[in-house]
Structures are given as C-alpha cells and as structure tokens.
Chains A and B, each alone.
Chain A
Amino acid sequence: MDDSVRFSVKEVSYRYADNTQAISKISLDVAKGEFIGFLGANGSGKTTLLRIMDGLLKGFEGGVHLDGMDITRLTPEQIYRKIGLVFQNPDDQLFAPTLFEDIAFGPLNMGFDIKEVEQRVMDALKQVDLTGLEKKSVHHLSFGQRKRACIAGLLAMGHEILLLDEPTAGLDPMGEYKMMNLLMRLNKENGVTIVMATHSVDLVPLFLDRLYILSKGRIVRGGKPEDVLTTPQELANVKLRLPQIAELIYRLKHEDNLPFEKIPLTIGEARREIIKIAAGSN
C-alpha cells in the first residue's frame, strides 16, 4: 500500500434500512495532504460516503482502508485519534454547556492531563479565531461561530484527517470565505488532509486539489477542477452548474464567438483571459 495514500475506498455500496440505495460502487483514493471535494446535489450520497469514511456507518459493501488498515477492523479509538467528521448542522455536534468544555471533550477523552488539554483548547480556539469566547454558552454563539467551534473541537484532538459535511452551508459570503481560508491554512500550513462535501460550485475551484462529482450515489467524474467542470449541460444533468464566471465565459465563447482559449473557473483567471482578448482585439 502506497505510503502516501491515506484513504482507499474500493467499490463501496451502502443501502439504508428503508432500502434506499445511498451509494453504489464508489471507488476513490485520498493522498496525504490533499484537499479533496465531493460535489453533488442534495441526496447524491455525499453525507453517507463521509460517514462511512469516518467509521460511523458500518454494514457497507466494499472496502475502506485508512492508512492501509481495514476500517471495519479498527476500534473506535484507533479511528478517532486520526480522523474526525464535522457535521452539517453544528447543533448536532456541540453538546456541552460552555465552549471550553465542548472543545475539551475530545482531548480529555484521549487522556491528556488538564494542562495539556487547556493548551490544546486555547490553540484550537486561536486557529479558528474564537479566542476569548471560551466561557460563553454554546447557544450564545452565532451560526458561523458554532460552525467554527465544531472544527475547533476536532482540531484540539490533533486530527490529521478532517472530513467536513457542507462546511459553508448557511454562512454569509464573508463567513464562507473565512471558512475556506481556515481550511486552506490547515491544509497548506498544518498538512491536514481534508475531504469536504459541498454543493458550492463557485468556491470549489479556488481551493480544491481534486474533486469528485457525485450523482445518485455514483461518481460521475473525478479529477482536477478544470478537468471536471467543463460543460454546463453535463453539470446540469447532475443538478449542478458551472461556476458563474465560467458560465459567463462559456456563453461568450460559444454563443457570442469571442476567442477565449480556455474556460476559466475563477475570477482571477477570467480577468487574465479577458485582458488577453481585449489586448488581442486592439
């Protein structure tokens, strides 16, 4: 098993108790230090896949290996020292009366002594920009703060792999940006491997290394954002769309026949392409 592969998911299928087939024969690999995304509409199986990868759902068909070991043979403790899942709804995850107690929960369970726990909690709070709020009751925090608090709870445990279920859902534009920048920092500076489920098409190309498109429980496409997000029709078939800037350039190219070389996915790229065209027409 390749040392750099952290997750290996092979031909995994899962069916819920009420017989809905959530995912069918999904295979993918996640390398160390990568920032991966699952892009898909609601009901495409993203949450189920994440839960299986987190060891919360058992009884699936196929194989899931974490660092080369079969996840079904690992004890909960072995799994949860390495990997953590941030749920979509922060209230599902924050259960202690104060912020400090909630973030301390993980490290305490891991057996650190109280001084170490305090240090970890403070560090985690600093990383998610929530310093000073330790004594606050959880329900006094804003939605965005609660989302970040969930991440802090896992950071304090020192996880090397973070799974996130729609981390930007429900956040205002500034909040979205802050969240994605936080994840980028964790990925690039701390080397945390991140797998995130989202349907936020505009954000994805800015931050992700690789991306898988899910639809009805299957992987439709996988690869780098520029290889995957190509044509509007294809994406519309799986209830997604191109990033807005890409859609604009696509239409300018194919309907108005402007000579764009490639379809940019971000505003920065689009700017360069437009300047090229503008310069070319002079």
Chain B
Amino acid sequence: MQLFSEHLIKDHILSKIDARVKIVCALVLLGMVLSYRGYVFPLVVLFTSFILCLVIKAPLRLVLLRFAEPLFIIAMVILLKFLFTGQEEIFSINLAGLKITGHIDGLMEGLKIAGRILGAVSIITVLGFVTPFTEIIAGLSWFRIPKGFIEILMFAYRYIFLLLEDAFVIYQAQKNRLGYIDMRKGLNSFGLLAGTLVIRSFDQSQKTALAMIQRGYTGNMPGLKHSPLKMGEAALALLFIIFAGAIWMIQ
C-alpha cells in the first residue's frame, strides 16, 4: 500500500540521518519561512527542496501531487488579494455596472503569500519523503509529546491500512450491487460503508486490547529507550540552521 510513500525510503544519505534531527531542522525552517517578510527566502527553500527531491530520486508525479492542492489555493489567494485588497490600482474594468479593480500592492502581497505557501509545502514534502512515519512517531515521543497522544497516533497509523482494505472491499461489494448509481443511493451506500467501518474498528479495538492484555499491557505502552543523538549530526543540523538563518536575514 503505497499511500505513505514509504517505498521511497531507499537508503540514501538523508534517510540515515536521525529522524529527530530532520524534524527539528524542518520545523525551524518552517518557522523561518512563515516569519519572513520578503520574497527571496521561501523561493530559495523551494528551489533547494526540488533539488533534494531530484537527488533522492523521488518520483516527479508524486512530488507534483503534493503541490496540486496548494497550487489551487495559491491561485485563489492571489485572486482574492489582487482584486479585493490593496490601495494602488493597476486597472479597473466595468462589468455589468460593477467596477472590478486590480491592485498592484494586493497582487504583490498575494505573491508573497504564494511564495510562503510553496516554501512551506516543499519543506513538509521533503520531510515526508525522507522519514518513515514510524520514525516520526518515535521522534515525537523523544520531544516529550504526551504519551497518550503518541499511543493514539501509533494505533491509528497501524490500523489505517487495515481499514482501508476493508473500505475497498465493502465499496466494491456495494458497487457490484449498484450501490452508487445515483446520488441518493450513493450517499446511502457511503453512509453504510462509513458506519460499517466504525463498527469494524470498534470490534477490532476490543480484540487488540485482549491481545495486548495477554502480553502484559496494563494501560500504558512500555517505553522504548531512544538511541543517543549523534553529536556529528546535531552539529551538522546546527550549522544548517545557522546557514539558513543567515539567508533569512536578507529581508
């Protein structure tokens, strides 16, 4: 099931780096992109991310897919900002009695936001490609994210695939019996599908609990000790952050 692009985690240089280091770098970079006021920095980040994707041989289609939705939103935002905000007009058309005005400063702001979005999405995309989700979960627990949250995350991730398969089977079965031929029936079938999944997951949770109890579960997951952070990697991360910070300063 290639939903989570785990098949991409080949053994390249980036996958060997500790997940915690990668998470910290990504978050710091993200913060920088979001607090930047100009145009340059996010675009630099975007460019670098693309290069990285090429280096790790991420399938181009998958990369573009990640950007599909943000691109649409960018278009919307630019349009909104261009037409409805700002003071300096660049043109205005009369459309059936209504005046539509374009504002240059609105456009510029819209472009800034667009750059911000692109830069941010590229960071997360690369992070997703170079770190398996299980390592991210482990990394989060090292960052002292509450244990309860990590446990839920873990269960959810484990069983998503199982439930997806079930969903597929039920969907096919319904489709074979004309469950989706029109809007109303389709919605009905969909409600049935979702409801059945809920029931299935409830029962599954009971069975899982039973299996865990007989292996000693008393309500809390036992903690796995984390391997110590390699100094070399931490130093590299620090250098990277300083370097990025320097570029960030160019506002």
- Interface size, chain A (Cβ < 8 Å): 33
CB-contacts of B216-231 with A (<8 A): 216-218, 221-225
Assess whether A248 is interfacial by the CB under 8 Å rule.
no
The reply to whether A101 and B224 form a contact with Cβ atoms under 8 Å apart is yes
Assess whether B87 is interfacial by the CB under 8 Å rule.
no
Q: Helix, strand, loop or mixed for chain A's interface?
A: helix
User: Once the chains are docked, how many angstroms separate the CA of A55 from the CA of B210?
Assistant: 11
CB-contacts of A80-132 with B (<8 A): 80, 84-85, 87, 89, 91-98, 101, 104-106, 108-110, 114
The reply to whether B158 and A95 form a contact with Cβ atoms under 8 Å apart is yes
Q: How many A-B residue pairs have CB under 8 A?
A: 78
Assess whether A157 is interfacial by the CB under 8 Å rule.
yes
Q: Nearest Cβ in chain A — how far from B42, in angstroms?
A: 33
8 Å CB contact of B216 from A89, A94, A106: A106
User: Once the chains are docked, how many angstroms separate the CA of A157 from the CA of B214?
Assistant: 11
Q: Nearest Cβ in chain B — how far from A55, in angstroms?
A: 8
User: Once the chains are docked, how many angstroms separate the CA of A128 from the CA of B155?
Assistant: 25
User: Once the chains are docked, how many angstroms separate the CA of A104 from the CA of B222?
Assistant: 9
Q: Helix, strand, loop or mixed for chain B's interface?
A: helix
Chain A residues with Cβ below 8 Å from B137 are 97
The reply to whether A139 and B161 form a contact with Cβ atoms under 8 Å apart is yes
5 A–B contacts, CB within 8 A, in A order: A76-B213, A108-B223, A137-B6, A138-B158, A154-B215
10 closest A-B pairs by beta carbon, nearest first, are A109-B216, A108-B222, A92-B207, A106-B215, A93-B211, A97-B134, A139-B161, A114-B225, A95-B208, A98-B134
Q: Which residues of B contact A (CB under 8 A)?
A: 1, 6, 132-134, 137, 154-155, 157-159, 161-162, 204, 207-208, 210-218, 221-225
